[in-house]
A and B are shown apart, each in its own frame.
Chain A
Amino acid sequence: GENVEQHPSTLSVQEGDSAVIKCTYSDSASNYFPWYKQELGKRPQLIIDIRSNVGEKKDQRIAVTLNKTAKHFSLHITETQPEDSAVYFCAASFNNFNKFYFGSGTKLNVKP
């Protein structure tokens, strides 16, 4: 099956700095790559996603880039704020698999 690796496991930045989280996947058939944010004690929620026919997608301070050749995708958060502090999960899927494969998560701490 698919294998998704996520780095780093923890990331600490100063408020206003940028944060980058990277994921790699193993199955070239994967074509959908969402990112979920999970605040402490809460459920994961989708923050942005990208499909394999797109190289980059941006939503305000959040962007995701995808390199299909290298089989990696990244989450970029600019002008970080304390409310960005959470655990972020990447995932990969191919609809015919009927399965999402999640990375192990990155705990982001934004220091005021």
Chain B
Amino acid sequence: NAGVTQTPKFQVLKTGQSMTLQCAQDMNHEYMSWYRQDPGMGLRLIHYSVGAGITDQGEVPNGYNVSRSTTEDFPLRLLSAAPSQTSVYFCASSYRGTNEKLFFGSGTQLSVL
């Protein structure tokens, strides 16, 4: 049981490039989410999903896309990277929703030059 697996751990992009951050969980969790962590600002929700085929926006969705074609996977796409998207990104999941423990991935440190 690997839990929540995130790749890559580190990534450097140039402004305007696109990329996908991968997230997978093997705990049969319905709820999955993406956060960004910036110094002094805590964790801010980007997008979330309550099940396969269902996604919705969080607090800071602009510049990001998500899809949930399977229960296990929830990739985050940066469409055209900007320096303001330099951050640490965490994927997190829970069994059913937000009244339960969140399991976090190990994070992706992204730098946009």
Give the B-binding residues of A (Cβ under 8 A).
1, 6, 9, 31-32, 34, 36, 42-46, 49, 51, 89, 91, 93-95, 97-105
Contacts and interface: CB of A to CB of B under 8 A. Distances in A.
Nearest to B33: A100
B42 A105 contact: yes
B104 A44 contact: yes
Of A6, A32, A43, A103, which is in contact with the most chain B CB atoms at under 10 Å from its CB?
Answer: A43
Contacts of B99: 31-32, 51, 93-95
B48 interface: yes
A36 B56 CA distance: 24
Contacts of B102: 34, 36, 44, 46, 100
B74 interface: no
Interface of B: 31, 33, 35, 40-45, 48, 50, 56, 58-59, 90, 97-102, 104-107
Contacts of A6: 42
Contacts of B48: 98-99
A57 to B, nearest CB: 14
Main secondary structure on chain A at its contact with chain B? Answer: strand
B40 A44 contact: no
Nearest to A89: B42
A94 B43 contact: no
Contacts of A34: 101-102
A76 to B, nearest CB: 20
B42 A104 contact: yes
A97 B98 contact: yes
A102 B98 contact: no
Nearest to A103: B42
A27 B43 CA distance: 18
12 contacts: A9-B40, A34-B102, A36-B102, A43-B104, A44-B90, A94-B99, A95-B97, A97-B98, A98-B48, A100-B98, A100-B102, A101-B45
